Amino acid sequence: MKGIFRTTSGEIASITGGRIIAGDENISLETVTTDSRELGDNNLFIPITGEKFDGHDFIPELLKSGKISCSLTMKEGFETAAAESGKSLIKCDDTLAALGKIAEFYRNRFSPLTIGITGTNGKTTTKELVYSVLSAKYNTLRNTKNYNNEIGVPFTLLQMDSSHEAAVIEMGMNHTGEIERLSNIVQPDIAVITNVGAGHLEFLGSVENVANAKSEILSGMKRGSTLIANRETECFHIIEKHASEHGVRLLTFGIEPGADFRPDSFKLTRSSVDVVYKGKKISVPLYGRHNVYNLMAAIAVAETAGVDLADAAAKLSSFENVGGRSEIIDRGYVLINDTYNSNPLSSLYALESVCDVFPDRKKTAVLADMKELGELAGLYHMKVGEFVAARKFNQLLLFGDMSEYYEKGASAAGMNPDKIKKFDSKDQIAEFLLSGLCEKDVVLVKGSRSMKMEDVVNRLIA
């Protein structure tokens, strides 16, 4: 990732709380990167230590080759290389935290209306929807791809310039404290919590802890700012408590009475989510009940930000979502590619949506492991299996280490064991489907990102 920031090595040392241990404090810098393969002019290199790679390993060669003008470091041993190359070297305590400080300093040069988005599910789609409606009125910046973590968010902010009137920043996490750090960098004027569910329990332990972690988005917000939250999510009372303690205005969205922003009515089809809101029909080319919630969150942001509802509706009518999220593929039969990621809540949404939109068709669920559920993994896979049976799916095809738990849940809920099949490979699943699919059948494919269930989808559509 690469960002633009015209500064000096001395200013970087001041911003990060570091100290120059080699080179000149007046060295000019123009670009910032953490990737040795993506360097810009007069580059500041920030080495990040990850699970597989350590950016510090690239510092000597980058200095020697003259490809960078300055480097941060939190390790010893690079002073000689910096001195010999005439480049600057800055020692700091934590290079990842330093990146955040640089982004925060840079972000404070500008004053766009800033919307922060987090939640267990629907973050990216909601971010894209909010970007769409805000673009009806404002020149708007947003995260691209999956740049929603402690590296991606800072580099998103480093794309900001004086032309941006608004910014929509998605924030992801899997550990306590991550959203707090991101929020302090982003400083949202409006925050959205899409929902709270069983995600990252391996690290967070309980859904209550997930709610507390998502509520960390309030940390970077001023008193009197606005939080927009799902009124019907699990642990809403925890979100409500945090909002009160932080002195922010709480607005809610949902589909049931009691939410501040709810549709008068809604209709789901294979090609659109249609809502009537304040008597006006708003149609978005999305699929599934979960996207009613995402759409209402975007409408809530639009109204809060002063975007005309008719202008927002016009933008939403041509909306294009990110691939792999409830993507409908027609091959005579209907293939639903929902392979971007998976957790218990998103799985229930996906299964329910198939039944809502295709009630009278033969339905097959192809499910793989849901990751990062810790000690409760078996229980949650069983619950999803139970739901498959309860919603009368005709087949359940399984792949991964947790297949037995899906099977147990579905069997206990009354699904015919002959309709539940476990496979050793994704190729076997594709071959089985291709040998038996009929016109108008519906196939849902879903699994966590690391399971790469798009391999099944790609084989089916090849």
- Give the CATH fold of the 327-461 domain: Protein-Tyrosine Phosphatase; Chain A (3.90.190)
For residues 44-80, b (16+ Cβ closer than 10 Å) or e, as one string? bbbbbeeeeeebbebbbebbeeeebbbbbbbeeebee
CATH 3.40.1190.10 residue spans of the chain? 110-316
CATH 3.40.1390.10 residue spans of the chain? 2-95
pLDDT > 90: what percent of the chain?
93
pLDDT over 90 (residue 51): no
Encoded tokens for 242: 């945090």
Residue whose token pair is 């909601």: 126
324: closest CA among 141, 148, 458?
Answer: 458
pLDDT over 80 (residue 220): yes
For residues 306-324, b (16+ Cβ closer than 10 Å) or e, as one string? ebebeebbebbeebebeeb
The three-state secondary structure class of 28 is strand
CA–CA separation, 371 vs 402, rounded Å?
A: 10
pLDDT over 90 (residue 326): no
For position 322, what pLDDT does the model report? Answer: 81
Check whether domain 2-95 has CATH 3.40.1390.10, yes or no: yes
Q: Fill in the amino acid letter for 254.
A: G
In contact, 48 and 96? CB cutoff 8 Å? yes
Q: Phi/psi zone of residue 320: left (φ > 0), alpha (ψ -120 to 50 degrees), beta?
A: beta
For position 195, what pLDDT does the model report? Answer: 97
For position 200, what pLDDT does the model report? Answer: 87
pLDDT over 90 (residue 312): yes
Q: What are φ and ψ of residue 215, in 5° steps?
A: -70, -10
3.40.50.1000, 3.40.50.300, 2.40.50.100, 3.40.1190.10: CATH of 110-316: 3.40.1190.10
In angstroms, what is the C-alpha Rg of the chain? 24
Mean pLDDT of all residues in 174-185? 95
CATH 3.90.190.20 residue spans of the chain? 327-461
Q: What is the mean pLDDT of the chain?
A: 95
Mean pLDDT of all residues in 185-204? 94
